[in-house]
Structure formats: structure tokens, C-alpha cells
């Protein structure tokens, strides 16, 4: 990769990282660069997003256990 291509790639990653921060994704530059590379290899961006969301959901300890306990709780009876 030539110096101009490297500069363009760095600027693109900076822009994506800035957008990621605005959207509060919590993704770091390294993760973003891997996701970009996977998209460039032809992987479906929507599928990658779904995988990232699923992995994040599983790695948040309290949130994932709370969600599973909520889904196991029967609905409260309705009062007419």
C-alpha cells in the first residue's frame, strides 16, 4: 500500500470512528477496522451488525441475565 492509499485509509477510519462515537457504539478503532475489512471482503454489513449486537448482548453480564430473567417471568395479570 502506497503512502497516499495509507493516508486515505487512515482518514476513512478516522471518519468511521468519529461517526461511531457520535452514535455511541462503543466500538474501538481496531474493531472498526476489522469490520471494515470484513465488509470489503464481501461479508454482509447487516449480518456483521447483527453479530456485533449479539456478542455485545452476551458480554454485558447484568443486562443479559436480567433480560433472560425478564423473559422467563410470566406476564402480570391484568385488572379489569
Asked if the structure places residue 80 within a domain, the reply is: no
Asked if the structure places residue 71 within a domain, the reply is: no
Asked if the structure places residue 73 within a domain, the reply is: no
Q: How many domains would you assign to the chain?
A: 1
The string of pLDDT tens digits covering residues 5-64 is 889 989 999 999 999 999 998 899 999 999 999 999 999 999 999 999 888 877 766 554
| Residue 43 CB coordination number (10 Å) | 13
pLDDT at 58: 73
Instruction: Residue 18: give the domain boundaries.
Output: 3-57
CA-CA distance, 72 to 77, in Å (whole number)? Answer: 15
What is the pLDDT confidence band of residue 69, given thresholds at 50, 70 and 90? very low
pLDDT at 61: 61
DSSP state of 76: P
pLDDT at 68: 47
Amino acid at each position: 500500500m502506497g503512502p497516499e492509499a495509507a493516508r486515505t485509509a487512515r482518514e476513512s477510519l478516522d471518519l468511521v470512528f468519529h461517526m461511531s462515537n457520535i452514535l455511541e457504539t462503543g466500538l474501538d478503532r481496531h474493531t472498526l477496522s476489522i469490520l471494515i475489512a470484513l465488509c470489503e471482503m464481501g461479508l454482509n454489513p447487516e449480518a456483521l451488525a447483527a453479530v456485533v449486537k449479539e456478542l455485545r448482548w452476551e458480554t454485558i453480564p447484568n443486562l443479559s441475565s436480567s433480560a433472560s430473567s425478564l423473559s422467563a417471568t410470566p406476564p402480570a395479570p391484568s385488572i379489569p
